[in-house]
């Protein structure tokens, strides 16, 4: 499998995206559970008309990974065709505070961290793949430019240390946390078990949303940075809910590029059901 992964990395990005679109449709046709999750999640958000585009984009997310993990870092970031909102990053750096980059499962979320790392040290929270053959490829691809922090207590300590030093950290705020690491908060009107770590990290740092739009016909990526619409306020649960609200607004702008098939409303083992 590792050999096939490296072989795919040599194919042109437009071809990989075409193969990914085909894979997305095959997966959708073959999995009733996946179809149900996607249909229900998009209906909640009121973006059901974007479903057909989302099916293809989800497949592209998988097939672009060889290009992002198995090619030289300079070649990977060279795929960024356009950047919007970098001035927000410069302002955050000038403030002397750490930066928390919030990257949802939207567009090419793999390339955002690699692009940021060309300008500053970046520590990212990640979970090891369940597939043993993929772990060294993932860690080599991401670790070439990033500081990797495992999704456990030691990783959280690394994130906090980086922020205290005025550096940047990155995380997926819509990733389902483990028991005891989240709160129930609305996400498109339905309770979703939401990580509190993002809200904690942003308490003494500058939070910024970042998203890489996947351009048509394999033309590369448009990386977009933007601040939150208003400062985080309230207790931990309120701040976590506010981050969800900010993600909703971002996702609604490019609904076809969100991973709607992700089981966002899953209840982790041991977590009581929401009231």
pTM: 0.94
Alpha carbon distance 243, 241 (integer Å): 5
Question: What three-state secondary structure class fits 22?
Answer: helix
- For the record, the structure tokens of 223 come out as 């990386």
| pLDDT given for residue 143 in this prediction | 67
DSSP letters along 109-126, please?
HHHHHHHHTTTS-EEEEE
Per the CB < 8 A criterion, the answer to whether 89 and 34 are in contact is no
List, for residues 125-165, the tens digit of each pLDDT value. Answer: 887 777 777 777 777 777 677 888 888 889 899 999 999 99
List, for residues 215-235, the tens digit of each pLDDT value. Answer: 999 999 999 999 999 999 999
Q: How far is CA 114 from CA 57, 73, 118, 141, 188, in A?
A: 20, 8, 7, 9, 29
177-184: Cβ within 8 A, 24+ apart: 177/268, 178/268, 179/268, 179/269, 179/270, 179/271, 182/240, 182/268, 182/271, 183/236, 183/237, 183/240, 184/274, 184/275
Alpha carbon distance 209, 136 (integer Å): 28
How do the domains of the chain map onto residue ranges? 2-257
Share of the chain above pLDDT 70, in %: 99
| Helices 51-63, 13-30: inter-axial angle, 10-degree rounding | 120
List, for residues 45-58, the tens digit of each pLDDT value. Answer: 999 899 999 999 99
| pLDDT given for residue 92 in this prediction | 95
- For the record, the structure tokens of 154 come out as 């030691």
| Total Cβ atoms within 10 A of residue 127 | 12
List, for residues 54-100, the tens digit of each pLDDT value. Answer: 999 999 999 999 999 999 989 999 999 999 999 999 999 999 999 99
């Amino acid at each position: 499998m590792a050999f096939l992964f490296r072989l795919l990395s040599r194919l042109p990005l437009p071809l990989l995206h075409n193969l990914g679109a085909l894979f997305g449709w095959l997966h959708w046709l073959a999995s009733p559970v996946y179809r149900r999750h996607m249909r229900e999640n998009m209906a909640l958000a009121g973006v059901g008309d974007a479903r057909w585009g989302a099916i293809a984009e989800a497949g592209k997310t998988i097939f672009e990974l060889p290009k992002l993990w198995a090619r030289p870092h300079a070649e990977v970031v060279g795929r960024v065709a356009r950047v919007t909102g970098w001035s927000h990053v410069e302002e955050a750096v000038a403030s002397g505070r750490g930066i928390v980059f919030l990257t949802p499962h939207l567009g090419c979320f793999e390339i955002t961290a690699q692009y940021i790392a060309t300008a500053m040290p970046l520590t990212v929270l990640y979970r090891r793949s369940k597939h043993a053959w993929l772990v060294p490829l993932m860690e080599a691809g991401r670790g070439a430019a990033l500081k990797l922090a495992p999704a456990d207590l030691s990783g959280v300590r690394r994130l906090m240390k980086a922020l205290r030093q005025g550096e940047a950290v990155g995380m997926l705020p819509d990733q389902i946390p483990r028991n005891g690491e989240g709160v129930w908060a609305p996400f498109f009107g339905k309770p979703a078990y939401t990580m509190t770590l993002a809200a904690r990290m942003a308490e003494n740092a500058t939070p910024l949303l970042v998203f890489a739009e996947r351009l048509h016909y394999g033309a590369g990526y448009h990386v977009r940075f933007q601040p939150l619409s208003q400062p985080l306020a309230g207790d931990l649960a309120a701040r976590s809910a506010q981050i969800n609200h900010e993600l909703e607004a971002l996702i609604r702008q490019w609904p076809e590029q969100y991973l709607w098939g992700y089981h966002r409303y899953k209840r982790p083992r041991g977590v009581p059901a929401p009231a």
